[in-house]
Amino acid sequence: MLSSSSFLATKRKALLFFLLPAVIVLILITLFPFIYAIVISFTGMEIARPQKGVHFVGFKNYITIFTSVRFWNSMKVTFILVFTAAIVELILGFWLAYLLRNAFRGRKIVVSLFITPMVIPPIVAGLTWRFMYDDAIGLINYLVSSIGFSRQPWLGSPVLALPAIIITDIWQWTPFLMLIVLAGFHALPEEPFEAARVDGASNWQILRFITIPMLKNVILVGFLIRIIELFRTFDTIFVMTEGGPGTATETMSIRSYLLGFRFFATSRASAFSLIMLFIVVFICSRFIKAIQREET
Amino acid sequence: MSRSFPIQLIRFAVIGIALVIFVFPIFWMVSTSFKTEKDAFRYPPVLIGTPTLHNYRSILSSDFPLYIFNSVVICSVTVSISIILGAPAAYALSRFDFRNKDSIAYWILTTRMAPPVAVALPMFLIMKFLHLLDTRLSLVIIYTTFNLSFVIWLMRGFFEEVPRELDEAAMIDGCNPLRAFMRVVLPLVAPGLAAVAIFCFIFSWNEFFYALIMTHTKTRTVPVGVQGFIGMYGIRWGEMTAAASLASAPILAFAIATQKHLVRGLTLGAIK
């Protein structure tokens, strides 16, 4: 029979045995590169020119970034993309979930079909839309011209390229919010709704004063996840426009990639990525605080 | 509550139109992959052309099968490592009480939130230093990062649904903690574990950014292979859509198999 102190000792050993390998691996592959990125960002390093060596330059990279027009442009593009797409996806996703909330025959298949855009590889989604946006053979220009409008060079136009990318993202990720809100609908209790109907509330009143407040947390979580993911968006933009034409669709992710892997401005790209990381963490912590405030 | 017939009709009409909008682009991609070149570029476009397997034959005799092989190897190894390391860690976080438990759990979560571009450069330099550029191992290491944190967060939730009394009883009966974990708890969360494994496979299979910067020719994965049909002088749409269809098919099958857990997986367990 185990004494209680040796039982605790076994538990302690078991804890280390279970937890430590994962923690060590995570530290090695996340914390170490992160610290390395901070160090590089204060040096003048260029992968393509190793003879330049590595020397400390202080805040020079950061100053260069904050004084460059392209940085502020990429920030503007990112914010337009992130917030327009997230808000439209939320509204459309909620609306679709609302339409699908009651069971009907074949609903499971309908839901499965709706989620296809978000599970296929993002690269495939981007290329499929690039095919449809094509000036010459694209389906969208065919539809546009068949209803009497003039054909557009969608992805080649500085004005239309960003909206075209936002539409692709909305197509891809509205099903995600639909799915989440649908899960929220299914978890709702029956009683408040029955009570409201007995009291003669209209459908709109029920939606506005009961359903939406009760789904608030689910909606906020879904919205937050979309915001985080939208800041990371890279694949679709990369295959559709590579940030162009000019800098019309150059988000911070794309700009950071171009700096690091096209222009080989290693240190500047590192500083750029860290600024971006800081912005994402800042926005997310604001949101999480807002959600926690709602909960209390 | 019964609703009036016209309202129901409008509701189904709207669902139908929305469904067409969301499914059509995928249909268009698949349909183009089975078209002859002449049909693919016909104007006005044809929905379904004379069916041909020409595009598939063409990509299967190129390097594309090698990319499929690379993807399968990388994804399977990554999923195995993530589960082997992650499931015990998740168990520890759900069962044992220790200082800073919540901080450790949140730190694990934040490793997943960072945009991939943020650590791409140091990763690239480290891989270069270790002579791992253009190897499958480099992608296995990187994919393990984001899958490991995912496994830990989701499995922790699944373990918490198993009553503590079960493994405590097993331990009092003389099982050591490892045995209690392997023999008593793990079988109970097997469906959850399978879903988590499938998710990790999907994430790794779809990953493009790191695959693009770490691999060159012989270790390319499927998404990079699909993107490879964008050439200097335009895109080979026929072959590209065929490759894209092949890249999507297994993922769709997997996603439908785990549909029950999809919300939980995509929200890291925040919504069940």
Rg (CA), chain B: 23
User: For a pLDDT cut of 90, what percent of chain B falls above it?
Assistant: 38
Please give the backbone phi and psi of residue B231, each rounded to the nearest 5 degrees, phi first: -105, 180
Q: In chain B, what are the domains?
A: 5-52 (no CATH), 64-266 (1.10.3720.10)
3-state secondary structure of B132: coil
Spatial contact of B212 and B117, defined as CB atoms under 8 Å apart: no
Q: How far apart are CA B82 and CA A27, in angstroms?
A: 14
Whether pLDDT at B38 is above 50: yes
Q: Which pLDDT belongs to residue A40?
A: 86
* Candidate from B25, B26, B117 with C-beta closest to A273: B117
Please give the backbone phi and psi of residue B230, each rounded to the nearest 5 degrees, phi first: -80, 110
Q: Which pLDDT belongs to residue A1?
A: 44
pLDDT: which is higher, A221 or A92: A92
Q: What is the mean pLDDT of chain A?
A: 87
* Candidate from A100, A120, A180 with C-beta closest to B248: A120
Q: Which pLDDT belongs to residue A116?
A: 92
Tokens 């490592």, residue located: B81
ipTM higher than 0.95? no
List pLDDT tens digits, range B141-169. 999 988 998 999 889 888 988 888 888 88
Q: Which pLDDT belongs to residue A151?
A: 85
* Listed ranges A251-255, B116-120, B256-260; the one with the highest mean pLDDT: A251-255
Pick left, alpha or beta for residue A126 (phi over 0 → left; psi -120 to 50 → alpha; otherwise beta). alpha
Determine the distance in angstroms separating the CA of A122 from the nearest CA of chain B, rounded to an integer. 7
Whether pLDDT at A294 is above 80: no
Q: Which pLDDT belongs to residue A4?
A: 54
Q: How confident is the model at residue B1 (pLDDT cuts 50, 70, 90)?
A: very low
Q: How confident is the model at residue B83 (pLDDT cuts 50, 70, 90)?
A: very high
Question: Which residues does chain B have within 8 Å of residue A226's beta carbon, measured at their own beta carbons?
Answer: none
3-state secondary structure of A190: coil
- Fill in the amino acid letter for B90: A
Whether pLDDT at B272 is above 90: no
List pLDDT tens digits, range A261-286. 888 888 889 999 899 888 888 887 77
Question: Which residues does chain A have within 8 Å of residue B83's beta carbon, measured at their own beta carbons?
Answer: none
Spatial contact of B66 and B218, defined as CB atoms under 8 Å apart: yes
Whether pLDDT at B23 is above 90: yes
Q: In chain A, what are the domains?
A: 67-295 (1.10.3720.10)
Q: How far apart are CA A14 and CA A185, in angstroms?
A: 41
Q: How far apart are CA A70 and CA A244, in angstroms?
A: 12
User: For a pLDDT cut of 70, what percent of chain B falls above it?
Assistant: 99
Q: Which pLDDT belongs to residue A295?
A: 60
* Candidate from A108, A183, A228 with C-beta closest to B271: A183
Question: Which residues does chain B have within 8 Å of residue A121's beta carbon, measured at their own beta carbons?
Answer: 205-206, 208, 222-223, 226, 244, 247-248, 251
* Candidate from A26, A239, A269 with C-beta closest to B149: A26
Whether pLDDT at A7 is above 70: no
Q: Compute the average pLDDT of residues A164-187.
A: 93
Determine the distance in angstroms separating the CA of A291 from the nearest CA of chain B, rounded to an integer. 12
Whether pLDDT at A231 is above 80: yes
Cα-Cα-Cα-Cα torsion A139, A142, A148, A151, nearest 10 degrees, comes to: 90
Taking CA atoms, B122 is separated from A54, A75, B126, B135, in Å, by 14, 23, 6, 17
Interface of B with A in 17-76 (CB under 8 A): 18-19, 21-23, 25-26, 28-29, 32, 40-41, 43-45
Taking CA atoms, A282 is separated from A265, A278, A295, in Å, by 26, 6, 20
Neighbours of A99 (CB within 10 A): 16
- Can you read off the two tokens belonging to residue B237? 């749409």
List pLDDT tens digits, range B209-224. 999 999 888 889 999 9
Interface of B with A in 78-137 (CB under 8 A): 85-86, 88-89, 91-93, 96, 98, 104, 108, 110-111, 113-126
In three-state form (DSSP H/G/I as H, E/B as E, the rest C), the secondary structure along B170-220 is: HHHCCCCHHHHHHHHHHHHCHHHHHHHHHHHHHHHHHCCHHHHHHCCCCCC
Question: Which residues does chain A have within 8 Å of residue B266's beta carbon, measured at their own beta carbons?
Answer: 176, 179-180, 225
Interface of B with A in 165-194 (CB under 8 A): 171, 176-178, 181
Interface of B with A in 219-248 (CB under 8 A): 222-223, 226-227, 230, 235, 237, 240-241, 244, 247-248
Q: How far apart are CA B262 and CA B272, in angstroms?
A: 9
Taking CA atoms, B243 is separated from A121, A163, B34, B41, in Å, by 12, 27, 11, 18
Contacts of B161 (CB under 8 A, 6+ apart): B189
